[in-house]
Structure 1
Amino acid sequence: MDKPKRRIALGCEGSANKLGIGVIAHDAETGSPSVLSNVRHTFVSPPGTGFLPKDTARHHRAFFVRVAQRAIADAGISVADVDCICYTKGPGMGGPLTSVAVAARTLALLWDKPLVGVNHCVGHIEMGRAITGADNPVVLYVSGGNTQVIAYAEQRYRIFGETLDIAVGNCLDRFARTLRISNDPAPGYNIEQLAKQSDGRVLLDIPFAVKGMDCSFSGILARVDDLALQMEAGRTTPEGDPITPADLCFSLQETVYAMLVEITERAMAHVGSSQVLIVGGVGSNERLQEMMGAMARERGGSVYATDERFCIDNGIMIAHAGLLAYETGYQTPLEESTCTQRFRTDDVLVKWRG
């Protein structure tokens, strides 16, 4: 009997407000990945509000079947072609994680396929490495729920620095609520577009909260919320200029991204790397990529990033990381196919890397 020319995984992601299901194939000889489908459906809450776990979980339950059917159809495969079902084990929001874990377990039972639980953060990293070709970079992982500076060593993704409170994406999202900015397609994206409308002359006084290799964003959020109140009251900058939403968004972005560049550069110096890979939803921000690129070039290095298809939560990153683990012999027994809101990046044995 001929050996299969490729292995195929279906990946299910639903740790936050994006339900993503995708199909990826690995060449059986070279291991090179091919994206066969990448389908996503986002729960969008009204302006000025966030997405509650119960509402997000209800959304994922309502759309899972049709998103899965489309992912299979777009990939041009049959159920028989699938080698394993991969799902996000954590970290993330409890309700949405549980909804997708139950659905993935159901598919594994219905189709009699092995199940593989995947760390969400490792999914981002491996997808970024596969798409960009970055060899052994320092990774800046920035999203709505996570902010970490990571480097690989001895079959673990080691965390060199992280947020001490809220994630940078959560800071941006919550400030978008203060300004009642639309959540469609994403609050952070809309903050970025507003920031581009600023002429850059007004850089408001915002705390620069770097503490060693770690960052803090809760105090920054409190400060920009206060500045938004001052704007509504008609107050001006010390130079007499009116404060605008564009100035607020510009100042917030410049401050938090400068913080991230600083701790990333420090990690690069520590491990002797000339590469930076930016992953996670905030990683699609053009200004962050620009600032990180300037720093990397000064060090004789380069920055790697992907567009929103791969940066923002998706099913193929779970399929890819899950298939890498599956190819080393790893499977998740049905009785252990749980999920958890807390799953550290450095808890994962990265057996597929030397």
Structure 2
Amino acid sequence: MATAATRSSSSNSEVIVLGIESTAHTFGVGASRWTSAGPELLKDARRNYVPKQGGILPREVAQFFSQVAAEVVEEALSVNSLTPRDLDAIAVALGPGMGPQLRVGATVARAMAAALKVPLVPVNHAVAHLEVARYTTGLRDPVILYVSGGNTAVTTFVEGRYRVFGETLDMALGNLLDTFAREVKLGPPYVVNGNHVVDACAEGGEFIGWFPYVVKGQDVSYSGLLTAALRALRRGAKLKDVCYTLREVAFSAAVEVTERCLAHTGKRDVVLTGGVAANRVLNSKLDSMARLHGGTYRGVPAYYSGDNGAMISLAGLLAHLSGVHVEPERAFINQRWRLDEVEVPWYGKLL
């Protein structure tokens, strides 16, 4: 997917890259700039699709994206006082994600790159979450827990790319919380005032006994936990107790596999990123774990925890300066593009 470098990564001239995100329920556009001082995140614009009930239907979301794409691009340029002529490259998330939504972002990015005659940069959505976390936390070589609606993985950089040291064997942590909330009629929306509705429901709850805690090696499994929680409710358990137990078991499993990666790699810094990264309870658990190992913990700022175009622009800027480009006609989406398939030549050099 990469072509030969067209710009030296040692250049001190200003470079601006626009990034487009459309992998799930957010159409986001952001910009990043390279100066002699290094990378800089600029402002972004985003629109979120919120279903009236149930989960999201990809075709409906894609239609929504098509309707708002132009205004989001225009807003992202306007808030940064940019014009299309100021852009040195266009970056786009080509995966992983949902096909119909990915196609909208890819189509917009291909059209802009071709019209402006600038390079098109392919970005892995998961890697973008990792890069914006490293940039915003200042922890440059951490173990990273990446948790979102569609992803749960423990990763760190080793020999040229991010390696997965543990992941979910079935459903992602964010999907577990959202699915449970939907089944018991707590949502949508699933996040209110920065808190997940399961967290709000868990206030004052008590641990109610055995729920399956599944850690296999360095991987986790959550599908049995969901089944057990729903079964407990049918047997008459209090909803707040089920929410509390579900959350505690799920988060503890994620923290354990993160701790195992920390011990295995000998690293000390821990970072949390992804859509679930704004969760205060999960942040607190990871902070306590890192302190036990004499390490430092930081979570990505809440503003950048969810999907956004800013993180795509940042990863795109770093990739662009490293010569990673794709011809517009070959910018194919990849719904199952794993983060450990991506070469990361800028690690330790540009960021």
Task: Return the TM-score normalized by structure 2.
Answer: 0.92
Query: Aligned partner of 1:139: which letter?
Result: I
Q: How does 1:37-116 map to 2 (within 5 A)?
A: 37-47=43-53, 49-116=54-121
Aligned residue for 1:227, secondary structure, equals helix
Aligned match for 1:21, one of 29, 53, 59: 29
- Tell me which residue corresponds to 1:189: 196
Aligned match for 2:303, one of 309, 318, 321: 309
Aligned residue for 1:346, secondary structure, equals helix
Distance in 2 (CA, whole Å) between partners of 1:74 and 1:203 is 50
Q: How does 1:116-135 map to 2 (within 5 A)?
A: 116-135=121-140
1:36·1:74 contact (CA, 8 Å) conserved in 2?
Answer: no
Aligned match for 1:228, one of 224, 229, 233: 233
Deviation digits for residues 3-41 of structure 1, max 9, x if unmatched? 8742111110010011111111121x232x322212111
Aligned match for 2:37, one of 24, 30, 34: 30
Q: Are 1:210 and 2:204 an aligned pair?
A: no
Deviation digits for residues 136-186 of structure 1, max 9, x if unmatched? 100101111111110111111000111111111111111111122232363
Report the CA distance shift for 1:261/1:56 in structure 2 as closer, same or farther (over 3 A): same
- Tell me which residue corresponds to 1:155: 160
Distance in 1 (CA, whole Å) between partners of 2:111 and 2:74 is 14
- Structure 2: where are the runs of 5+ without partners? 1-10
Aligned match for 1:337, one of 327, 331, 337: 331
Aligned residue for 1:262, secondary structure, equals helix
* Bigger RCO (CA 8 Å, 6+ sep): 2
Between 288-297 and 300-309, the greater mean CA deviation after superposition: 300-309
Distance in 1 (CA, whole Å) between partners of 2:23 and 2:134 is 21
Question: Once the 2 structures are TM-superposed, how far is the Cα of residue 107 of structure 1 from its aligned partner?
Answer: 1.3
1:204·1:247 contact (CA, 8 Å) conserved in 2?
Answer: no
Deviation digits for residues 79-105 of structure 1, max 9, x if unmatched? 111111100010011111111111111
Aligned residue for 2:106, secondary structure, equals helix
Query: Aligned partner of 2:18: which letter?
Result: L
Question: Once the 2 structures are TM-superposed, how far is the Cα of residue 212 of structure 1 from its aligned partner?
Answer: 0.6
Query: Aligned partner of 1:113: which letter?
Result: V
Query: Aligned partner of 2:51: which letter?
Result: S
Distance in 1 (CA, whole Å) between partners of 2:187 and 2:178 is 10
- Tell me which residue corresponds to 1:239: none
Q: Are 1:8 and 2:25 an aligned pair?
A: no
Aligned match for 1:350, one of 344, 347, 351: 344
Aligned residue for 1:158, secondary structure, equals strand
Q: Are 1:179 and 2:184 an aligned pair?
A: yes
When the two chains are superposed, the root-mean-square deviation of aligned CA atoms in Å is 1.6
Query: Aligned partner of 2:222: which letter?
Result: F
TM superposition outliers: structure 1 runs of 4+ over 4 Å: none
2:47·2:72 contact (CA, 8 Å) conserved in 1?
Answer: yes
Report the CA distance shift for 1:4/1:299 in structure 2 as closer, same or farther (over 3 A): closer
Question: Once the 2 structures are TM-superposed, how far is the Cα of residue 78 of structure 1 from its aligned partner?
Answer: 1.2
- Tell me which residue corresponds to 1:325: 319
Between 171-180 and 118-127, the greater mean CA deviation after superposition: 171-180
- Structure 1: where are the runs of 5+ without partners? 237-242
Distance in 2 (CA, whole Å) between partners of 1:113 and 1:189 is 41
- Tell me which residue corresponds to 2:272: 278
